[in-house]
Structure 1
Amino acid sequence: MGVDQMNKPAGQYVSVNGIQMYYEVHGNGKGMPLVLIHGGGSTIPSNWGVLLPLFAEHHTVIAMELQAHGRTGDRNQPESFRQDAADVQALLKLLQVTSANIIGFSDGACTTMEMAIRYPEMVHKIVLISGNYKREGMIPGFFEGLEAATFADMPGPLKTAYLDVNPNPEGLLNMFQKDREKRLAFQDVPEELLKRIKATTLLIVGDQDVITVSHTVEMLSQIPGARLAVLPGNHGSFIGEVLAGTAGSPMPEIAAGIIRDFLGND
């Protein structure tokens, strides 16, 4: 990453693939950049507000808001994990990042998998937190519940988090609808593609997550050399995500320590 970029304020906009993408750069680590990819319905603060400062002590951290999320614009086409990966790749290319470690949570983990599959030259190590590669990896009833969900069912903390950074109710509704459609359209990732992942991989899942532990163990067997950590907690609680985190919990620091140990000196 160029020195000029490091001298800019943390929050910036850049044009990628037809949208204005908001991103932030924190910390000034000397090693490989660390990229954070948020989950569905999230913003940088709502997803990474607790973990980001812990990582920025040791790494140069790049976090962005994906299509239609938070401060990032939208395009006249559905969201998709493949498009999100292309947008992140374009952002990193503009920032002159040739290789990075990437952490993705939930939908962001699916995007991170797409990055590792489609842009292997750009990805060094990946951490997939609460991600899945098959529809059946979700807890029973997940897709049925999502099919019936309306905007009124969107959790209040996620609505507030969006409006805190972008006071646009129409944009919030649009994000909900596009996120819902993206997840409902989820298609299984062929196992042969997982077997081709070259990035050193850490899988993290909660013991009461919306992704089953058994499914994560399946992923462990498909991705060459992958490692696994099962942490006590539900979807997002152990990383301090706004919807599930508990004030004062030691779990985010524990999760950050596990991830930093996995990343090592990279």
Structure 2
Amino acid sequence: MGDHVDVGGHPTWVDVRGRPVGDAQVVLLLHGGLSNCDLLLDALEPTLAARYALVAFDRRGHGRTADTSEPFHYEDMATETIRVLEQVVDRPAHLVGFSDGGIVAILVALRRPDLVRRLVLIGANFHVDGLRPLELGEDGPQVTAIAESYAQRSPDGAEHFPVVVEKGLTLMRSEPTLSTADVARIGAPTLVMAGDDDLVELSHTCALYEALPAGALAVVPAASHLVPVEKPDLVARLVDDFLGSAWPPATMMPIGRAREAAPAQP
């Protein structure tokens, strides 16, 4: 059931589903840009709700959370996420981030590793140069669907949508600017996932995976950047398997992972 919660002095839409937060491991779902928390909840709740407490929230200017006059920055979104972890979750959680939400998850893991159990990064880039060119016509079906979803939820009204789009595109064109050395500081086991025709360059996705000390990789065939929408059951199974398995995995012919010295994590 969703409701507005004061997060850093701003009414923020938070939705909690599945098992009670105090009785199970928590999975915090971080939505993509120009989206809202319903996207990942719809994809993952049927599979994960029986085992986990699912917490999702709409970032400032998205979904049911009102915008402010400030521009969008990923570091500010990470601060917002850390506050949700501290106020709503109140303990370490698994972070599942899609697109912009994956970037936010990376920043949270770098700033507050004490709050992160495992990461799932879906269609995420660590540097702005990792994105392929994207052309979205103003009257195209994707923009129309996003605009309708925004109008149905936003307390700012449909007329504010162009402002959010401009702030979102400005963000995407200028951030993030992390390096593989930054990524290498993430110690939490991390699943990197992407569609085989993703907005993020496949080489960039592989660079993200290869830079991680404890990484796993899933490239979903016949899928685009919107893989959680296109193949929700498969994405949910991959996430469920990753979160529920020991780390490092006990494969039959380890090569790169043969050098991992960390003890298995439940």
> Normalized against structure 1, the TM-score is what?
0.84
Q: Which of 135, 158, 170 is matched with 1:181 structurally?
A: 170
Q: Which of 244, 249, 253 is matched with 1:264 structurally?
A: 244
Matching of residue 114 in structure 1 with residue 111 in structure 2: no
Matching of residue 214 in structure 1 with residue 214 in structure 2: no
Q: Which residue of 1 aligns with 2:255?
A: none
Q: Give 2:9's aligned amino acid.
A: G
Q: Which runs of 5+ in 2 are unaligned?
A: 246-265
Q: Which runs of 5+ in 1 are unaligned?
A: 1-9, 246-250
C-alpha deviations, 1:117-155, integer Å up to 9, x for none? 11111011000000011222112x34xx4xxx6755661
Quick check: 1:34–1:61 contact (8 Å CA) kept in 2? yes
After TM superposition, where is structure 1 displaced by more than 4 Å over at least 4 residues in a row? 149-154
Deviation (angstroms), 1:181: 1.5
Higher RCO, 1 vs 2 (CA within 8 Å, ≥6 residues apart): 1
Q: How does 1:172-251 map to 2 (within 5 A)?
A: 172-232=161-221, 233-237=223-227, 239-240=228-229, 245=230, 251=231
CA–CA distance in structure 1, aligned partners of residues 44 and 206 of structure 2: 25
CA–CA distance in structure 2, aligned partners of residues 108 and 28 of structure 1: 23
Q: Give 2:212's aligned amino acid.
A: I
Q: How does 1:85-100 map to 2 (within 5 A)?
A: 85-100=78-93
Instruction: Give the total of aligned pairs.
Output: 241
Q: Which residue of 2 aligns with 1:4?
A: none
> Normalized against structure 2, the TM-score is what?
0.84
CA–CA distance in structure 2, aligned partners of residues 151 and 20 of structure 1: 30
Q: How does 1:45-194 map to 2 (within 5 A)?
A: 45-139=38-132, 141-142=133-134, 145=135, 155-166=143-154, 168-194=157-183
> What secondary structure does 1:82 align onto?
helix
Deviation (angstroms), 1:236: 1.1
Point out the more displaced range, 74-83 or 121-130.
Answer: 74-83
